[in-house]
Amino acid sequence: MIVSIGCDHGGFEMKEKIVELLKGINIQVIDEGCYSEDSVSYPIFAQKVANDVQKEKATYGILICKTGVGMSIAANKQKGIRAALVCDKEVAALARKHNDANVICFGANYITFENAIECLLTFINEAFEGGRHASRVKLLEQE
């Protein structure tokens, strides 16, 4: 499994901790930045992570900003991306099971690192159920 991760300045500290944890459990990480707490524009990093998922360089994407809202909006503008702003384990599971989400977003100011990790591990270990959900997900791809 390969995950691509990106953040803006508001999510930098959490991103660094997540990268370290993922590498510690032998998950390959593509770190798309940002690389400091200097102010940056979140859409740049959302697009980088979305591109990695679109091109299948990464199985999943992780995006972090202060609220998670900007990152989820920016990622969802990219074709084939289904980004979910997640705040608890149940939402993380349902995002995968029902929506086939391929990018998870966190609001660093609204979720603890421990809770984010619990959500992330749930997200990457859950499978899309398909069935009645497949036709709904397919509707998302229509222009």
d(CA 39, CA 57) in angstroms, rounded, equals: 27
d(CA 29, CA 26) in angstroms, rounded, equals: 9
Clarify whether 7 is annotated catalytic.
no
Q: Is the dihedral of CA 111, 84, 26, 7 positive or negative?
A: negative
d(CA 14, CA 64) in angstroms, rounded, equals: 8
| Separation of CA 101 from chain center | 9
Counting Cβ atoms within 10 Å, is residue 143 exposed (0-12), middle (13-18) or buried (19+)? exposed
Amino acid code (one letter) for 143? E
Selected catalytic residue, list 7, 34, 65, 119: 65
Where in the sequence numbering do the catalytic residues fall?
A: 65
